Amino acid sequence: MLDLNTERKIINNGYPLIGGIDEAGRGPLAGPVVAACVVIDANFNIDNNDLALVADSKTLSPAKRNALFKIIKDNVLAVEIGVVDNDIIDKINILQASFLAMRRSLKKIPLKPDFILVDGKLPIPRITTPQKAIIGGDSNTWVIAAASIIAKVSRDWLMTEFHKKYPEYNFEKHKGYGTKEHMRALLKFGPCPIHRLSFAPLKKD
């Protein structure tokens, strides 16, 4: 179970609003990368309620993620997402696209954090807000784990919408990841407009 120790240390160092940022969708062959920012303050707590169930989105079932998505949005100070589509991913690469999605979430969020905790080993480039990158942050830092759930659920919803437009690929099921079913569909139908053409095996030499 996660706690708020990391967040409280930063708040006590003079940063009253803490933002957690994570992304979903680096690895798929299709669709956007989505980042989320979640903002909390010193009055926020997770004791004895459903917020204590927040964990790395990869460890939770879809039903649990969907339930926590609403709980998080209803209890934190602010939530926002940033989306970068496959065309931009192909132009600037997935790492830079992930950073762009993170910056977009920050730009859109109505309550700006004083300090950011971001999942990964690299800080977000080209922002002025103080920040700290935490390796494995989505599994050991509450505000990042919350952001991971918001990002994952938001991206899954977008891929379900794409499924309606391109049902032959069954994006609703695999969300664009390179499953056997997805690879069979690619062999049969070729790439569609949301496929990442810079990713193997779609990349042309």
Q: Is residue 183 part of a domain?
A: no
193 within a domain of the structure (yes/no): no
Instruction: Write out pLDDT tens, residues 187-198.
Output: 999 999 999 999
- 150 CB burial (10 A radius; 0-12, 13-18, 19+): buried
CATH number where 23 lies: 3.30.420.10
70 within some domain: yes
In a domain, 175, yes or no: no
62 prior amide bond cis, ω within 30 = no
pLDDT digits (tens, 9 = 90+) for 16-42: 999 999 999 999 999 999 999 999 999
How far is the C-alpha of 188 from the C-alpha of 139, rounded, in Å?
A: 38
pLDDT score at 205 = 60
- Average pLDDT across the chain, whole number: 97
pLDDT for 204 equals: 77
The answer to whether 57 and 20 have CB atoms below 8 angstroms apart is no
Does residue 43 belong to any structural domain of this protein? yes
Percentage of the chain beyond pLDDT 90 is 97
Q: How confident is the model at residue 1 (pLDDT cuts 50, 70, 90)?
A: confident
| Number of domains composing the chain | 1
- Give 47's pLDDT tier (boundaries 50, 70, 90): confident
**Is residue 48 over pLDDT 80?**
no
pLDDT (tens digit per residue) in 49-87: 899 999 999 999 999 999 999 999 999 999 999 999 999
Please report whether residue 25 resides in a domain: yes
Which residue segment(s) compose the domain that 128 sits in?
5-155
Q: Is residue 137 over pLDDT 80? A: yes
Q: Residue 99 domain-assigned?
A: yes
Residue type, 173: K
Q: Long-range CB contacts (< 8 A, 24+ apart) of 89-95?
A: 89/32, 89/33, 89/196, 89/198, 90/196, 90/197, 90/198, 93/198, 94/26, 94/33, 94/196, 94/199
Query: Given pLDDT bands bounded at 50, 70 and 90, which one contains residue 100?
Result: very high
Residue 80 maps to a domain: yes
